[in-house]
Homo-oligomer: A and B are copies of this chain.
Amino acid sequence: MGRKASVEEEDLMARLSAVFRDVGYEGATLTILSEATGLKKASLYHRFPQGKEQMAREVLESAGAWLDEHILSPLKGKGAPNDRIKDMIKKLDAFYSGGKQACLLNMLSSARIHEGPFTQLIKQVFEAWISALSAVLVDAGLDKKVASTRAERAVVMLQGSLVLSRGMGTTRPFREFLKTLPDELFGAV
């Protein structure tokens, strides 16, 4: 881990990411991105020769890598399934700032850009997420089909709770989602 990404690089990505998560691809102007990073436009173009599209793509790739390292890998660990889920919930809470920050996957999948270079990447991240969650449930003894259905439903509820949290101006839906997630997954309803 951290094999090549320096701290400054990670910080740069985090700042760019925050903008895209706030206002989406079209809403993220170079002026805003410049202010958020402290780098002038020309400096951003030095780092990202292909401009905003490259920024969004690298931010998305970076988020995918972060998810893989901090969420999906631990999910594939060797603790009890219930503990692994609890660990994930803590990470999710931090990653989405308790429901105050939106998800890149949602905010970037509306890009008006020509047939979306993000489309495939977004799809892959969703699939990897569902797949990893499903594997944990299979470990917990659930039927493969049931595990798959519940894993996808968990991701659906994560996304939906973030949408409602933003739209209703309260983090309650997201917090409620995190609280009920173990039961939703393991079926103790």
Contact = CB atoms under 8 A, between A and B. Distances in A.
Interface string A43-84: 000000000000000000000000000000000000000000
A122 to B, nearest CB: 5
A164 B168 contact: no
B164 A112 contact: no
Interface stretch (A4-12, A33-41, A103-111, A134-142): A103-111
Nearest to A110: B24
A107 B176 CA distance: 23
Q: Dominant SS at the A interface?
A: helix
Interface residues of A, number: 39
Nearest to A127: B168
A119 interface: yes
Given A26-B24, A110-B27, A156 B160 contact: yes
A23 interface: yes
Contacts of A155: 160, 164
Interface in A175-189: 176-177, 189
Contact of A27 (B112, B169, B176): B112
6 contacts: A24-B24, A24-B26, A106-B106, A106-B163, A110-B166, A119-B169
